[in-house]
Amino acid sequence: MGEFELIRHYFAAAPCAQGGEGVALGIGDDGALLDLSPGEQLAISTDTLVAGVHFPESCDPFLLGQRALGVSVSDLAAMGATPIGFTLAITLPNADAAWLQAFASGLDRMAQACAIRLIGGDTTRGPLSLTLSVFGRVPSGMALTRGGAQEGDLLCVGGDLGDAAGALPLVLGQREAPAAIAEPLLARYWAPQPQLALGQALRGNATAALDISDGLLADCGHIATASQVALQIDQARVPLSAALIALAGQEAALHYALAGGDDYLLAFTLPVARLLDMQAAGWPVRVIGRVVAGVGVQLLDADGLEIRPPRSGYQHFGLSSD
């Protein structure tokens, strides 16, 4: 099967590639055309996932399709953007029909859930890797960024942390667990749900935001640097799921939450005056700390004393984010 036949058969024919709001021209030409209304800006993000680095080489292709798009769309959520479309550049060792069909189905499942359209891409031969670029719209001047956190703001997250990192031994077959414990953790790894609605609700409320991909400590460091402030995290307030604690124990669960990564939930800073309104509206706002003068990220124990964690997060070209 040639490159263009492969694209037509597995991707251009998928429901998520059939156009939609904001897509003036999708797959089939030299480029795509996107429509933006006056007063909107285009948010763009690109992620590359490499077999053996970001996912096991022998993983289920349906689950891989879901995960690949979910982690990319999470960047749009972090900016408060509404998804429009995405491109997929896929490098394949061979054109395996069953693998491609399953991958395209998983990709389409996540695309439908996120209301985002496949608008183009590329296919090449080589070691398995995926590069996705996502595009979204946001009202001009309203995008959430990493800069803007103010001294006195609260540091918040959008839910329980560490589940996906804790699931990795299950994904790799290094251990087993009862279904009641394993299934919710594996779902967080293979089918991350971008917090798009929360991101949009944070526009005009949060002062800074990002999605947690490399670990809470490392990613909060990005907010601290961009905003030129310090973030203090109360270790006892870091939210952990019952499933993660049951699998790993309290101490290991906390390590996964602080440094494991792959959460794809939002971390954001919020003025104190906005907290009650956000919580009253039902948004999953979990306060874990505060913004103070200074630099960097401080992890505090119950007595307010700083704890030095052994590792703060994942880096591609280093051992830690310290």
Query: Do the beta carbons of residue 153 and residue 268 sit within 8 Å?
Result: no
Query: Do the beta carbons of residue 163 and residue 184 sit within 8 Å?
Result: yes
- Residues 177, 274, single domain; the answer is yes
Would you say residue 144 lies in a domain? no
Q: What is the pLDDT along the chain (322 residues), one digit of tens a residue?
A: 566 666 666 676 677 777 677 887 777 767 878 889 999 999 999 999 999 888 888 899 999 999 999 999 999 999 999 999 999 999 999 888 899 999 999 999 999 999 999 999 889 999 999 999 999 999 999 999 999 999 999 999 999 999 999 999 999 889 999 999 999 999 999 999 999 999 999 999 999 999 999 999 999 999 999 999 999 999 999 999 999 999 999 999 999 999 998 999 999 999 999 999 999 999 999 999 999 999 999 999 998 999 987 665 554 434 333 3
* Total of domains in the chain: 2
- Residues 129, 34, single domain; the answer is yes
- Residues 116, 179, single domain; the answer is no
CB atoms within 10 A of CB 245: 18
- Residues 197, 279, single domain; the answer is yes
Query: Do the beta carbons of residue 189 and residue 171 sit within 8 Å?
Result: yes
Q: Which residue, of 100, 115, 139, is where some domain finishes?
A: 139
DSSP letter, residue 17: G
- Residues 21, 73, single domain; the answer is yes
- Residues 118, 257, single domain; the answer is no
Residue 309's identity, in one-letter code, is: P
CATH code where residue 276 lies = 3.90.650.10
CB atoms within 10 A of CB 276: 10
Q: Which residue, of 107, 139, 171, is where some domain finishes?
A: 139
- Residues 283, 223, single domain; the answer is yes
C-alpha to C-alpha distance for 190 and 197, rounded to whole angstroms: 20
Q: Which residue, of 111, 139, 167, is where some domain finishes?
A: 139
Residue 150's region, left for phi above 0, alpha for psi from -120 to 50, else beta, is: beta
C-alpha to C-alpha distance for 170 and 165, rounded to whole angstroms: 10
- Residues 131, 167, single domain; the answer is no
CATH code where residue 8 lies = 3.30.1330.10
CB atoms within 10 A of CB 175: 10
Nearest partner of 75 among 44, 53, 50, 102, judged by Cα: 44
Please, is 39 exposed, middle or buried when counting C-beta atoms within 10 Å of its C-beta (0-12, 13-18, 19+)? exposed
Domain span holding position 283? 154-307
- Residues 116, 170, single domain; the answer is no
Would you say residue 75 lies in a domain? yes
